[in-house]
Chain A
Amino acid sequence: MNLFNFFKQEDREIAAKIRAATKVRMDDTAREKTRALLSEYVKMRPVRGVEPLPFISLPANEFSLFFMRRSVPALAAVLVLIGGGTAAAAEGALPGDILYPIKVHVNEEMRATLATTPKAKADWQVSRAERRLEEAATLALSGKLDDVKRAELDTNLDAHVKIASENRIRLEDDNDAVGASEVDTNIQAVLIARENILDGKLAAKAAVRPETAAFVMAASAPAETARAAAGGGSDVETKGHRTAAKARIEAAKKFLGRSDARLSPGARVQIETSLKEAAKAFSSGEVDVSQGKEVEASSHFDSALESATKIEAIVSVSTDTGDLNDADDTSDAEESGDDSGSGSSGSGSGGINPGL
């Protein structure tokens, strides 16, 4: 036996040991239960193009009351009525769109039924709150965040936070202090992000955009409470900035993709540059977090938020002056950043890929 073969044999045997020592499996009951839930889930969300988009007209309030019970079969029945294609199309809906109630009260409630543990339930409610923030940021970019939509977003966001908090208490009851603490941090981060989505720097725009000021005012109280509860903790602040940056970046990507985003080529270039900077900083922050570099992560998320906030300032200035084609008007944008003229990384926009 030569040396090479000896080591190959040794490695094979230690590999067999590792395999034998680490084989664990899910119990059959849990496995079948998960399979049944997933089977229901895929039936309610058919792949795009499989079913036509039917006309629907269902009042939001009746939806809300009906889905208070969160029954999977009931949700399945309604999905059959409205069509899976509708449910798929609703994912991109914003407050005011006809499909928005389906997004919030059918699609998201369906996802909620799949969460079986208090931790999973809380995590999903936090995710829903983040979706509301992204919708607010998207509407704000389009200048469509009026009082009615703001109130709807506020109400829904509060409801998500409330359910997440209830599940946090259940975790505490179960003596899962680590899980409860994690949920608590995530909730506080969402509240801070709510403030940051339309933060103090943009409050100066209140004279032009009353809805902006109103949203900031509504958000500021719970955010201050969250900050106080966190004791000014940098971890919560960092997470809050991460959440806000993520929502703003996703909103900017959607805004640029909308056909009604009337922007001059110059303004579009400025926004795309800021978006690339934000996405790059965000990705760097994610890498830092995965490597346990909290200080560096905080710095990168702050940079991402700053760049992403700059986008709204660019759009806002264009709207204020009524000149969307003035590519050189960046005065306000430059107030919130110091290197708007720097080149992009070349890494491309859309650097955030949640989960995939």
Chain B
Amino acid sequence: MEKTSKQQEEEKEFLAAYDEHSASLFRFLTMKIADREVARDLTQETFTRAWDFRQSGGAIREWKPFLFRTAYNLVVDVYRKKRAVSLDHLIDDQGFAVSDDSADEKRTVATAEMSRVRKGIDQLDETYRDIILLRYTEDLPPKEIARITGLSENVVSVRIHRGIEKLKVILGPDAKQSL
């Protein structure tokens, strides 16, 4: 009875982690590989691997960095090809819904401007793009990004700073006018 209860607790914790983090994982994977179906597969595979790790006796203290690290490695290990579709094209043409839970942001950022920002992100080198997305889209601190990517925290901080500077240059003066 006690063992069954422990199993139930494990299952509950795992599914709670899915409820909490699957959306952000899917978003990150979609941004990285630009393929909705593959991103969905990889989201599922990320959680499957996490459970396999847990099932074999591994301890997961913090789910979010663990899941993102697993997903990041999964992409590096399995899907090595570079993105062939632009972020803007992906969101416009494959039926992705822009989240409605950002009413304040939507008031200040017009749809056209979002498209321009997406194109700017597309032009960033992957070295900066991944880290910028993890930092600003997923709101992860540099320390967690360092754990996910295997880089030092200092390198991550430098790349965030440089990535933002590069994005500002790409977006040009219009970016500042609309701020």
Contacts and interface: CB of A to CB of B under 8 A. Distances in A.
Contacts of A117: 37-38, 41
Contacts of A182: 81
Interface stretch (A38-46, A213-221, A307-315): A38-46
9 contacts: A18-B121, A24-B30, A24-B98, A26-B23, A30-B40, A31-B23, A117-B37, A286-B77, A356-B53
B91 A24 contact: yes
Interface in A19-38: 19-27, 30-31, 34-35, 37-38
B146 interface: no
A238 to B, nearest CB: 12
A88 interface: yes
Nearest to B56: A48
Contacts of B26: 24-26, 31
A59 B27 CA distance: 45
Interface string B25-67: 0110011000001101101110111011111110000000000
A48 B10 CA distance: 11
A116 interface: yes
Contacts of B22: 26, 31, 34-35
Give the size category of A's interface with B: 35 or more
Contacts of A20: 98, 102, 105-106, 109, 114, 117
B33 to A, nearest CB: 11
Contact of A114 (B23, B48, B57): B48
Most chain A CB atoms below 10 A, which of B70, B80, B136: B136
Contacts of A339: none
B41 A115 contact: yes
A51 B6 CA distance: 10
Contacts of A25: 23, 26-27, 96-97, 99
B156 interface: no
A24 B27 contact: yes
Given A17-B117, A21-B121, 19 more contacts: A17-B109, A19-B136, A21-B115, A23-B102, A24-B99, A25-B26, A25-B99, A34-B40, A42-B14, A42-B15, A47-B57, A48-B57, A50-B7, A51-B3, A114-B48, A116-B40, A117-B41, A119-B38, A178-B84
